[in-house]
Amino acid sequence: MESPPLGFRFAPSILVRLGEELVPNLDQAIIELIRNSYDADAKECTVEIKLDKANGGTIVISDNGSGMSSEQILNNWLVLGGSSKESTKLTPKGRRTVGDKGLGRLAALRAGSSVEMITRHEDSSADEAHSITIEWSKYDNAKVVEEIGLPLEKSSRVEPGTTTTLKGIKRILGKSETDRLGRSIVLLTSPFSGQSDFKVNLIAPDFPELEARVRNGYLDDAEYVLRANLYADGSAYAEVLDFKGDMLYSATSDEWLTKKPKSPIKYNAPPATFELYSYVFNKNAFAGRGSTIGEVRNWLKVIGGVHFYHRQFRVPPYGDPGHDWLDMNLSRARSPEERPSTNTSVGRVIVDDPEGVLKQKTDRFGFIESDEFFEIRRFAKDALDWLARRRLRDAEARRDLQKQQSGEEPAKARSDLLDTISQSLPATEKEKAIKALDRLEQNFQKELRATREDLVLYRSLATAGTTAAVFAHEIGKPIRTIAGNEKTIRRRVKKYCGAEIVSQIEPSLDLIVSGSERLTRFASMQIDFLKREKRRHGAVNINKVIQTLHNLWRPILEDAKIDLVLTPYKTDDALIFGAEALVETIITNCLTNSVSAFERSGARTKDRLIKIMVSIEGNTVAIEVEDNGPGINMDINEIWLPGRTTRQEGTGFGLTIVKDSVLDLGGKYSASTVDTSGALFKFVFPLLTNQANI
């Protein structure tokens, strides 16, 4: 007699693995049931949340869709990991299905201690509705899932559709959980214009803010709207509309891709649409509008960013806080002018995907990152880059116009003033007044010329700084290559060569290591100097800044055989008000000059020393930088002037920057020669004694 065929059986723990652990957040679990309503061709789906602290909350999800027959319940609804839906086929009402794995539903059903599902198929009469109830506690003592039967009972339901009631919600519906749920429902079928024929209602009397969040929207308050379309042939088109709906500018992908010569000229992706609503937060932009800046900012905190809609349903985590999948904030940080960020805009990428080339991950959290997905991402990022270039061009045009107008206004103002003098003053006083005006104008022009010279100087320095930062960023990879090859050479030399050859080669390898470390330190120094937070004004601890610079400079100074001695004052007392970047600029330029001085012909080669001393003198903090090099070999009064240098390769800008930085910090500067050789620079700043001044 043959044994019956064997088959897989599943322990109840598999329900946990495929339920709570697969979709751990309550909002995503509920959305899975809303997806089912959409696939059932429902026009409306209602989510009702009832708070019950004693027995756990209750959530009811009901729809007016096509419902299910007993056969569909048996062969589809109760089959885990399988689905009757095919992603390339349409529903009877022409929708592309958004649920295709049959696992998300289990996660939703497991959200409560029990679940009741009542459904009536659209082709059945009211007395042919069915219900099924699942008590999850019954599975706790079962060995296998198949031991627990689920009776299908007759029920009554007037309208076709399905109602699922989750009782005894295990998670506490606190503020963070309801906030996330409200945001998910707001974004589910999108808060944007041109909504689909599917509506989601929320009833949550215990959470009035949640319902308000679902209702409110501020799209009409956007300053401008970007709309871009990706077509089936791989080409694209974009346009920008102002707040009145008038077109500002437009372009095809052929135009914007010419700015990226290494990019493919077509996008290999299914058709897509990209919309971005961007806001400008100033009083003039919101004048005469029904909403306030605060209201829109708070709204954007909830839904800001660019979201991804696949077949009309949002796919997380794209656009979630911390998931800037189009790198908007990074691009804005690199070039802040005229670029939107996730805090100032909200948008969506819409893909109908008729061929089903985009595949969601099993946990519904994002797409499997295929070439098609990356091409859609490239399309959206290219549209943003084009937008930024066009807006920057407009900003430059506005600045040029302002410059032109500002050049004309002084002449007109002078003419008006002369007319007033002629009409208002007696003849004996007119000449005096005109001469005083001429002197004032001459002094103003002199100050303006100095300002323009400073502007040219600092633009040159900004270019040099940007170049140095790019060099510092890009040098990391070749340095790592050098270090890796050095280790390989050292290992192979020891393996294949005798001790004598090893001893001859290793000193050269040691120099390569030392040089690589020095380059790495230099690179990190350049990047560290450009950190944004260092440019913010506040309390600056002089000793901490100097100690940080000491750590950065130590390898360079050791290589130059220079000792750096620090004499700090009390660590927490030497405080001044200003920007850390300015203090770093002062000390760094002094150290650079000292190192250069030791490289002069005839400079000492032994016992090289640089001392940095911090002291408090009354209500001031003094910093002294002293070296025992060959001293200052030019007129002391000229060392602060721009372009004055004794080094052939020098720029003459260093001490000019030091002087300006000291003055910006409200300090004083001086320089002198020490004992016929060596240089001493002293800087004195007001002591920050009142923390309230910060």
Burial classification of residue 103, based on how many CB atoms lie within 10 Å of its CB (0-12 exposed, 13-18 middle, 19 or more buried): buried
Question: What does the longest C-alpha to C-alpha distance in the chain come to?
Answer: 136
pLDDT of residue 82: 59
Coil vs helix vs strand at 548: helix
Written as six digits, the tokens of 447 are: 């100050």
Query: What is the topology classification, in CATH, of domain 535-693?
Result: Heat Shock Protein 90 (3.30.565)
Q: Is cis: bond before 317, omega within 30 of 0? A: yes
pLDDT of residue 63: 93
> Do residues 289 and 218 make contact, with C-beta atoms less than 8 angstroms apart?
no
**CB contact set of 503 (below 8 Å; sequence gap of 6+):** none
The pLDDT tens digits for 105-163 are 777 787 788 889 999 998 887 678 899 998 988 888 888 888 888 888 888 777 899 99
Written as six digits, the tokens of 213 are: 């969040």
| Residue 57 vs residue 208, higher pLDDT | 57
> Do residues 502 and 493 make contact, with C-beta atoms less than 8 angstroms apart?
yes
Residues of the chain with CATH 3.30.565.10: 13-214, 535-693
Using the predicted structure, report yes or no on whether residue 273 has a pLDDT greater than 90. Answer: yes
Q: What angle do CA 322, 36, 375 make, to 5 degrees?
A: 45
Using the predicted structure, report yes or no on whether residue 13 has a pLDDT greater than 60. Answer: yes
Using the predicted structure, report yes or no on whether residue 649 has a pLDDT greater than 60. Answer: no
Using the predicted structure, report yes or no on whether residue 10 has a pLDDT greater than 60. Answer: yes
Using the predicted structure, report yes or no on whether residue 195 has a pLDDT greater than 70. Answer: no
Using the predicted structure, report yes or no on whether residue 62 has a pLDDT greater than 80. Answer: yes
Instruction: List 273's β-bridge partners, or say none.
Output: 229, 350
pLDDT of residue 395: 76
Kindly report the average pLDDT of the chain as a whole number.
79
The pLDDT tens digits for 445-476 are 777 666 665 555 554 555 455 445 545 545 56
CA distances from 190 to 13, 110, 200, 310, 596 (A): 36, 27, 10, 11, 62
> Do residues 684 and 617 make contact, with C-beta atoms less than 8 angstroms apart?
yes
- Taking the domain 13-214, which CATH number applies? 3.30.565.10
The pLDDT tens digits for 379-404 are 999 999 899 888 888 877 776 666 66
pLDDT of residue 227: 94
**CB contact set of 526 (below 8 Å; sequence gap of 6+):** 468, 469, 471, 472
Instruction: Give the lowest-confidence range in 352-356, 540-544, 557-561, 644-648.
Output: 644-648
The pair phi, psi for residue 366, each rounded to 5°, is 95, 170
* Maximum average pLDDT range among 24-38, 241-255, 535-549: 241-255
Percent of the chain with pLDDT over 90: 16
pLDDT of residue 694: 39
Buried b (16+ CB within 10 A) or exposed e, 106-142: bbbbbbbbbbbbbbbbbebeeeebbbbebebeebeee
Cα Rg of the chain (Å, integer): 36
pLDDT of residue 196: 63
The pLDDT tens digits for 82-103 are 555 555 577 888 787 776 555 6
pLDDT of residue 466: 46
Mean local confidence (pLDDT), 254-262:
71
Mean local confidence (pLDDT), 290-294:
75
Q: Which H or E run includes 502?
A: helix 499-529
pLDDT of residue 691: 41
